[in-house]
Structure 1
Amino acid sequence: MFGSPLSNVSKCLNAMPEAFQRFKVEPAFSTSFASLFFWRDLKQPSWCALPEGLKKYPLLGFLAGSIAAYKILAEDYYEKSIDAIVLEEVFTSLDVTADQLMVLNPKIELADLADDVKEILGRAL
């Protein structure tokens, strides 16, 4: 059942590419309680998912490559308009710049994101 921890977490983790090893063992992700896994290599055109059959969960569509679906979700959640051009740039490049962050959230303090950006992107803004 969706939302319940997987009975075969080890099998799913073993099926993921080795490039994601550090994420597989990251305590913050609590993989032992995972219901599903999504990943995307920079060279892949779309997201990968485990276990098989996740397509039957349409609410996950925004994770599986639909920029329009994510835009709707984000605008509803944040109760503000999201710049579609910048959003598409971020989605297609799998990267983000300081300028893009400022367009998406003019109130953001870039210094507060420095450690997160370094960890996620492997570089400074």
Structure 2
Amino acid sequence: MTVYDVARALPGIEELRDHSRGLAMLDAVLCPEWESRYYSFDAHWSEREQLASMKDGQGDEYTIVLSQAGAFARVFAHESMLSPFGELADGQTWPGVLDGVPEAFAEYLTEPAFTDEDGVHVTTACLWREPADTAWHTGTVEYPDAGDDREDPDGSGRLLHLLVDRSAEAYAEWASDYYETPVDLEAVRHVLALRPLTPEVVATLNPEVELADLAEDIAEIGYPTA
């Protein structure tokens, strides 16, 4: 799977926004320590932007900026052959990855959060979608035909997996493995549907967390309340 396959499988902007909020809320319940969470959502990244993000703690990540201009997504797989820090890329963003990014998202090409100290965009895959678009767009990339990651050369298939497969089953399976604890499927469905949290749902997901403990997370994520 490459970024082209992912682009065809991703949902529209609003569905992506809602699903990202659900993923972040689930992680907030399952993992009280913010630094150890996988998925996050900042509904107040700026006055006009929200940010959905993922960090796996091993150097891989994605960030998706959501605004009135649409959605701009970058993926970074640190072991990808396309990594700017790999031997093939020679310290530069892989050719084509950022080609065609429209003016509406031009500021994100120099955004310090997405670039290194030399101004190189730390990205192995990039996607964007404006409000009037009927599909996601990507640059035109030629992938090297070498190495063990030829089936997912830019890391987008693996790192955006739970945005492509948005089922409760997919998250429950992933979270059970990642957090090493059983994860209740119905509770996952409740949260991914963005229904207001209840003490019972929270306790089902994590008996060591109470609803009141999540007030700051709920506000940051912009998760619906009763």
Q: TM tier, shorter chain?
A: 0.5 to 0.7
Q: Distance in 1 between matches of 2:136 and 2:104?
A: 13
Where structure 2 has 5 or more consecutive residues not aligned to the other structure, the ranges are: 3-75, 78-82, 85-92, 116-121, 129-134, 142-153
2:174 maps to 73
Where structure 1 has 5 or more consecutive residues not aligned to the other structure, the ranges are: 16-23, 40-47
1:76 positional shift: 0.8
How many residue pairs end up in the alignment? 105
Contact in 1 for aligned 2:176/2:183 (Cα 8 Å): yes
1:30 maps to 113
Partner-residue secondary structure (3-state), 2:208: coil
1:35 positional shift: 4.6
Aligned mate of 1:94, from 161, 185, 194? 194
Using the size of structure 2 for normalisation, the TM-score is 0.34
Query: Could you list the per-position Cα deviations for residues 19-69 of structure 1 after superposition, in whole angstroms to 9, with x for gaps in the alignment?
Result: xxxxx7xx9x93444555789xxxxxxxx8664798x71563222213222
1:111 positional shift: 3.5
Q: Distance in 2 between matches of 1:78 and 1:120?
A: 20
Using the size of structure 1 for normalisation, the TM-score is 0.54
- Higher strand proportion: 2
After the TM superposition, which segments of 4 or more aligned residues of structure 1 sit over 6 Å from their partners?
none
Identity %: 29
RMSD, aligned CA: 4.3
1:110 positional shift: 3.4
Question: Which structure has the larger Rg?
Answer: 2
After superposition, the Cα gap between the structure-2 partners of 1:80 and 1:122, relative to the gap in structure 1 and judged at 3 Å, is: closer
Question: Match of 1:117, as an amino acid?
Answer: I
- Larger relative contact order (CA 8 Å, sep ≥ 6): 2
1:106 maps to 207
2:161 maps to 61
